[in-house]
């Protein structure tokens, strides 16, 4: 199977504007993600997890090295779910989703279908500020999945939510993920979340950050949050992190 996302020998250094201090985040990072694979990136704060997502999303450029997103027969479409839903408060839920579908050149029905898929069909005309935190994040998920992305990036998507809500949304993401194979990268602080959702977990550590451990999770989907094997693996990863 060919890699659909290839990060090769990537270096990235940030220079603090005020102090002028240089901080090398990556020095020759390599990572391959295959079609249909969801890779979770875990690690302590400051190990470059979000920077990695920003580099892949094109929000940052690497100082050197290459990042290739390979699509089967078109330029890969990219969806991203952020820690905060990042909605336009002045637009109703549906229009927030339509922003992405319009930009991707997809018809408006896709936006409505996506809202329906996340269980918010009747909130299409509601403004984000009347929605709960979980509902707002559902709109963020709908926006990302509405464009039928080839590459899906999750940047700590449920860390701002209470555990019960986060658990429902993880199940929702699992269902959406099962619809068709994509390339996925999930940055999370939560090893249990990583073991539940991912096919593979990589542990980033050090400065500059490098991959210090890698775990393949072969449990078939749909998975159950209470699965004993997943919980045991999660404990192993926690052991590596602390």
Partner 1 sequence: MTISQSDVRQESGRPRLSGVPADPGGAGPSSGPLDRDSRLRWVLGAVVPPVLLVIILLLAWQLMAAKMSTPLVPRLGEIAGQFGDLLRTSGLWTQVGLTLERVGIGFVIGFLISVVVGIAMGRNTLLRRFLEPLMLLLLVIPGLVKALLCVIWFGVSLINPVLCVVLAVAPVLIMNIVQGVRSVDDQLVEMADVYRLSPRVRLFRLWLPVLAPYLFAAARLGISRAWQVIVLVEIFGLASGIGYQLNLEFSNNNVAGVLAWTITFALIMTIIEYGVFQTLERLSGRWRKGAGA
**Torsion-angle region of residue 9: left (phi > 0), alpha (psi -120 to 50) or beta?**
left
**Residue 238 binds to partner 1 (criterion: CB under 8 A):** no
Separation of alpha carbons 144 and 155, rounded Å: 12
Stretch of 6-14, 26-34, 82-90, 185-193 lying at the interface with partner 1 (CB under 8 A):
82-90
Contact criterion met (CB below 8 Å) for 40 and 174: no
Separation of alpha carbons 217 and 220, rounded Å: 9
**Residue 80 binds to partner 1 (criterion: CB under 8 A):** yes
CB of 19 to partner 1, least distance (A): 18
Judged by CB under 8 A, the residue of 135, 188, 190, 195 near partner 1 is 135
Strand runs labelled E in 48-150: 64-69, 78-81
* Structure tokens belonging to residue 59: 């929000």
CB of 56 to partner 1, least distance (A): 10
**Residue 237 binds to partner 1 (criterion: CB under 8 A):** no
Q: In terms of CB distance, is 26 or 123 closer to partner 1?
A: 123
**Residue 14 binds to partner 1 (criterion: CB under 8 A):** no
CB of 199 to partner 1, least distance (A): 19
- Residue 125: CB atoms within 10 A of its CB come to 9
Q: In terms of CB distance, is 2 or 129 closer to partner 1?
A: 129
């Amino acid at each position: 199977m060919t890699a659909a996302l290839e990060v090769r020998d990537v270096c990235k250094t940030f220079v603090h504007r005020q102090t002028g201090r240089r901080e090398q985040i990556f020095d020759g990072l390599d990572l391959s993600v295959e079609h249909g694979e969801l890779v979770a990136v875990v690690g302590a704060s400051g190990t470059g997890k979000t920077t990695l997502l920003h580099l892949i999303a094109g929000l940052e450029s690497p100082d050197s090295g290459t990042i290739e997103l390979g699509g089967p027969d078109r330029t890969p479409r990219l969806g991203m779910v952020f820690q905060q839903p990042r909605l336009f408060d002045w637009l109703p839920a549906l229009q927030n989703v339509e922003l992405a579908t319009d930009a991707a050149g997809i018809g408006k029905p896709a936006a409505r279908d996506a809202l329906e898929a996340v269980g918010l069909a009747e909130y299409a005309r509601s403004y984000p500020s009347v929605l709960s935190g979980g509902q707002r994040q559902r709109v963020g998920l709908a926006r990302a999945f509405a464009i039928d992305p080839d590459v899906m990036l999750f940047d700590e998507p449920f860390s701002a939510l209470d555990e019960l809500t986060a658990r429902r949304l993880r199940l929702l993401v699992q269902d959406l993920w099962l619809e068709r194979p994509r390339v996925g990268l999930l940055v999370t602080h939560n090893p249990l979340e990583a073991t539940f959702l991912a096919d593979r977990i990589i542990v980033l550590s050090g400065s500059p950050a490098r991959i210090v451990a890698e775990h393949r999770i072969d449990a078939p989907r749909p998975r159950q949050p209470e699965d004993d094997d997943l919980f045991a693996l999660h404990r192993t990863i926690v052991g590596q992190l602390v």
